[in-house]
Amino acid sequence: MSYRNLSIWKNIDKPLLVMYFLLTVIGYLIMYSSTYKGLNIEDIFWVSNYGKQLTWIIITFFLGFFILLLDGSFIKNTAYFTYGIVLLLLIIVLFMPPIKGARSWFYFNSFSIQPSEFIKLTLSLALAKLLSDVGSKFQDFKTKLKAFLLIIIPALLISIQPDPGTMLVFTCFVFVLYREGLSGNFLLIGFFTVLIAVVGIFLKASNSVFFIGETSISGNVFFGIILFVGFLFSFLIIRYFVLPRYRKQKIKRLIIISVLGLSISGGINYVYDSVFSERHRTRFQIMFGIKEDRKGAGYNIYQALSAVGSGESFGKGYLKGTLSNDKYKHVPEQNTDFIFCVLAEEWGFFGSILFISLYLSSLIRIIMIAERQRSKFTRIYGYCVSAILFFHFMINIAMVIGLAPVIGIPLPFFSKGGSAILSFGLMIFILLRLDSERKVVLR
């Protein structure tokens, strides 16, 4: 082994590498258990779901080892190129035959690739390069515009497929931009927007009606009136209690928030009735506890909850799950979106807590790695990786336990899917490679 390779191994972050390896191994064991019907040596490679998963893991380890041999500057200098290639694939895939109603995959017999999984990786690199280039200042409007375009363009292409779950993942990059100097007002506006949307959808889904005297008003209209009165009251406070030199700026922000809030509140009716399908409307009603549909749109959620609950404190034991195993077909998609059910049933509450602790520890470690960098490129990339993994982790588990609508977000290192396994693995290996140069790279 050469001195250069020894230097890489010496400086590589061992805790993150170990945690990634543990998550991958545990994820594979859970995947194997979810499709277990008895041991068959012929199924180990490619024939079965767990055979394909193992093949993708081996490919990821091989490519990860290759990445560790690359120079960090090469990874940075090719960031725009790799982003452009995957963006082109996102355009081409729109012309492929739809699979389950979405044009998201390139299929070659039993082999498939999903470009939307890789755009998260290449976008992270491109965004890090844009914001770390010499002379680039995020406070400049031009740089902000470029950053938002890098994020919005692939998000729009994915929305056309359509794949709303993956599209929502791109919202996590707002936290990266906030770390790099984006005004906190954007986060407040985003939180305010989500809050209005959630309340509006709840009022619409529940068919709420309010009475003013003898006049009945729908819940959304009444909510819009409350918002308008609140905005008017805020304007009066600013007008008479804020110093003149700050007044104009705050009124401008209030107008933006008011227009945005009232537009969302008013548009909920149209979106709910015309854009959402009956299945989506039913899922929102189930999520808010308005309706039960155990044999229809709510089937997946109720089956998943029963599997999670059956694990109790310590679980049924490895390979002893019944509700989340492919043999009995109790939980649909038990090895993709709902694979957490397998872990919860077989390992129980305490096993799930250990898994969550391991996952959160890896996220904290990634943030620690990002913060210790002298290279701005590596720091930004590290925050991108942590934001992506956290969003997937949070939404997937919330989906399984009924706190979020089912939107098709895989659990990193666990859910079936070669593209996701490869993409998440390469994210970690690239970060490990860039971090190994932290003592010699200044930008």
Judge whether 443 lies within some domain. no
**DSSP symbols for 253-300:** HHHHHHHHHHHHHHHHHHIIIIIS-HHHHHHHHHHTTS---TTTTTHH
Q: Which of 271-275, 281-285, 355-359 has the highest mean pLDDT?
A: 355-359
Residue range 339-352: mean pLDDT, rounded: 91
Out of 271, 286, 301, a domain closes at 286
Residues 161, 58 share a domain:
yes
Residues 125, 60 share a domain:
yes
Beta-sheet pairing, 111-113 with 209-212: unpaired
Burial of 108 (0-12, 13-18, 19+ CB in 10 A): exposed
pLDDT bracket for residue 422 (50, 70, 90): very high
Q: Is 404 left (phi over 0), alpha (psi -120 to 50) or beta?
A: beta
Q: In whole angstroms, what is the distance from residue 377 CA to residue 167 CA?
A: 24
Residues 273, 297 share a domain:
no
Judge whether 75 lies within some domain. yes
Q: Which of 39-43, 140-144, 192-196, 337-341 has the highest mean pLDDT?
A: 337-341
Residue range 157-161: mean pLDDT, rounded: 86
Residues 106, 28 share a domain:
yes
Q: How far, rounded to the nearest angstrom, does the alpha carbon of residue 186 sit from its chain's CA centroid?
A: 19
* Residue 110 or residue 255, greater confidence: 255
Q: Is the CB of residue 46 less than 8 Å from the CB of residue 412?
A: no
Residues 139, 27 share a domain:
yes
Residues 394, 276 share a domain:
no
Q: Which residue is associated with the tokens 């009924």?
A: 402
Q: In whole angstroms, what is the distance from residue 306 CA to residue 399 CA?
A: 14
* pLDDT tens track for 197-210: 888 888 877 777 77
Above 60 in pLDDT, residue 3? Answer: no
pLDDT bracket for residue 113 (50, 70, 90): confident
Residues 298, 229 share a domain:
no
Confidence (pLDDT) at 296:
64
Residues 303, 171 share a domain:
yes
Q: Is the CB of residue 414 less than 8 Å from the CB of residue 339?
A: yes
Q: Quick one: tokens of 20?
A: 């990634």
Residue type, 322: T
Count of CA atoms in the C-beta half-sphere (13 A) of 3: 0
Q: In whole angstroms, what is the distance from residue 171 CA to residue 387 CA?
A: 9
Burial profile 363-375: b = 16 or more Cβ within 10 angstroms, e = fewer = bebbbebbeebeb
* Residue 119 or residue 443, greater confidence: 119
Radius of gyration of the chain (CA): 24
Confidence (pLDDT) at 295:
67
Could you count the other beta carbons within 10 Å of the beta carbon of residue 209? 12
Q: Is the CB of residue 240 less than 8 Å from the CB of residue 289?
A: no
Judge whether 441 lies within some domain. no
pLDDT bracket for residue 421 (50, 70, 90): very high
* Residue 423 or residue 143, greater confidence: 423
Strands (E), 1-145: 106-108, 111-113
Q: Which residue is associated with the tokens 């180990």?
A: 44
Residue range 242-262: mean pLDDT, rounded: 81
Judge whether 153 lies within some domain. yes
How many domains is the chain built from? 2
Cβ neighbours of residue 311 closer than 8 Å, sequence gap 6 or more:
344, 345, 346, 347, 348, 349, 351, 352
* pLDDT tens track for 28-60: 999 888 877 666 555 555 567 778 888 899 999
Residues 414, 313 share a domain:
yes
Residues 266, 410 share a domain:
no
Q: What average pLDDT is seen over the chain?
A: 83
Q: In whole angstroms, what is the distance from residue 307 CA to residue 341 CA?
A: 6
Helix, strand, coil share (%) of the chain residues, nearest 5:
70, 5, 30
Dihedral over Cα of 194, 120, 117, 332: its sign: negative
Write down how long the chain is: 443
Judge whether 157 lies within some domain. yes
Residue range 70-82: mean pLDDT, rounded: 92
Q: In whole angstroms, what is the distance from residue 169 CA to residue 198 CA?
A: 18
Residue 232 lies in domain: 191-286
* Residue 241 or residue 1, greater confidence: 241
Out of 243, 266, 286, a domain closes at 286
Cβ neighbours of residue 212 closer than 8 Å, sequence gap 6 or more:
none
Could you count the other beta carbons within 10 Å of the beta carbon of residue 400? 25
Residues 301, 272 share a domain:
no
Q: In whole angstroms, what is the distance from residue 311 CA to residue 315 CA?
A: 4
Burial profile 210-241: b = 16 or more Cβ within 10 angstroms, e = fewer = eeeeeeeeebbbbbbeebeeebeeeeeebeee
Judge whether 185 lies within some domain. no
Residues 388, 347 share a domain:
yes
Q: Quick one: tokens of 153?
A: 């363009």
Above 70 in pLDDT, residue 2? Answer: no
Confidence (pLDDT) at 440:
74
Out of 235, 255, 286, a domain closes at 286
Dihedral over Cα of 369, 374, 377, 383: its sign: positive
Q: Quick one: tokens of 250?
A: 């705050």
Q: Is the CB of residue 323 less than 8 Å from the CB of residue 345?
A: yes
* Residue 99, helix vs strand vs coil: strand
Residue range 268-287: mean pLDDT, rounded: 71
Q: Is 408 left (phi over 0), alpha (psi -120 to 50) or beta?
A: left
Judge whether 231 lies within some domain. yes
Q: Which of 87-96, 102-111, 161-170, 186-195 has the highest mean pLDDT?
A: 87-96
The alpha-helical segments, DSSP class H, found in 133-218 are 141-160, 164-169, 173-179, 184-205
Count of CA atoms in the C-beta half-sphere (13 A) of 78: 11
Above 80 in pLDDT, residue 215? Answer: no
Judge whether 186 lies within some domain. no
